[in-house]
């Protein structure tokens, strides 16, 4: 009888649980949009609690893992017009170009430089890529309060060996990501202050901690828009050069 009860309990657990890939498929499905437009502020807090504040905007077009995005700084004056074009690919690392108006030319970011910091922030160039869930293997690690904890392992070239993700059970949003290399924890990203925009739960505050440097960067969105008209011509190196 005890064996039968154990089998029934195990069957009930399996039936009620979700495979980790199914969880991530639902995360991605709920975040799907044709285009995105974000505006906000970015604060970098370094040694001695020195704070550098910048304003930025970000536009994105396309499907997960096969999209294009442009990030531009709009203030202060010394960084205004600096932009980054990101062209994501489903089967390899993204192509990225950094535009610096003060020198009047773009710089293509080499693959070996993807782990470096993006323009003084605590995001690396790789962190700004968008990757489809098909580009990772996932493993379920257990439940923590109101979240599932998953492990992700990249299938293509990455500075990270593996990562941990925490996904809320009620609305399938990722609230924390930890990224590791062979030496240990490299970056931790927390997503907070969620708000629905056109039915999509979006974090209005994102904080990234660079563990080796002991510095952090906080993004705050004050404008969120989805499914605005955009065209491919807005996401080219020529468009990047034209600036704001």
Rounded Cα distance, 190 and 208, in Å: 7
CB crowding 10-20: b at 16 or more within 10 Å, else e: eeeeeeeeeeb
Q: Is 31 strand, coil or helix? A: coil
119 versus 173: the higher-pLDDT residue is: 173
pTM here? 0.86
Tokens of 91: 């089967």
Contact 55, 219 (CB under 8 A): no
Per-residue pLDDT, averaged over 102-116, amounts to: 90
Q: 217 or 93, which is more confident? A: 217
**Interval 114-170: pLDDT, tens:** 899 998 899 999 999 988 898 999 999 999 989 999 999 999 889 999 999 999 999
11 pLDDT higher than 90: no
Domains and CATH numbers, the chain: 33-242 (2.50.20.10)
pLDDT at position 50 is: 79
């Amino acid at each position: 009888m005890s064996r039968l009860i154990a089998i029934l309990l195990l069957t009930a657990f399996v039936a009620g649980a979700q495979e980790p890939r199914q969880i991530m498929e639902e995360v991605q499905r709920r975040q799907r949009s044709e285009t995105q437009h974000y505006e906000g502020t970015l604060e970098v807090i370094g040694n001695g609690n020195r704070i550098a504040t910048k304003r930025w905007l970000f536009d994105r077009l396309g499907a997960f893992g096969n999209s294009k995005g442009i990030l531009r700084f709009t203030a202060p004056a010394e960084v205004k017009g600096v932009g980054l074009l990101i062209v994501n690919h489903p089967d390899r690392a993204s192509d990225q170009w950094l535009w610096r108006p003060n020198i009047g030319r773009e710089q293509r970011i080499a693959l070996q430089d993807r782990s470096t910091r993006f323009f003084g922030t605590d995001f690396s160039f790789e962190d700004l890529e968008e990757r489809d869930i098909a580009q990772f293997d996932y493993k379920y690690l257990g439940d923590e309060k109101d979240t599932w904890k998953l492990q992700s392992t990249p299938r293509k070239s990455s500075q990270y060996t593996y990562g941990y993700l925490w996904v809320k059970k009620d609305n399938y949003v990722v609230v924390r990501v930890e990224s590791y290399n062979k030496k240990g924890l490299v970056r931790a990203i927390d997503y907070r202050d969620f708000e629905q925009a056109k039915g999509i739960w979006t974090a209005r505050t994102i904080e990234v901690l660079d563990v080796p440097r002991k510095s952090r960067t906080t993004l705050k969105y004050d404008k969120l828009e989805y499914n605005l008209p955009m065209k491919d011509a807005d996401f080219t190196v020529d468009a990047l050069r034209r600036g704001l």
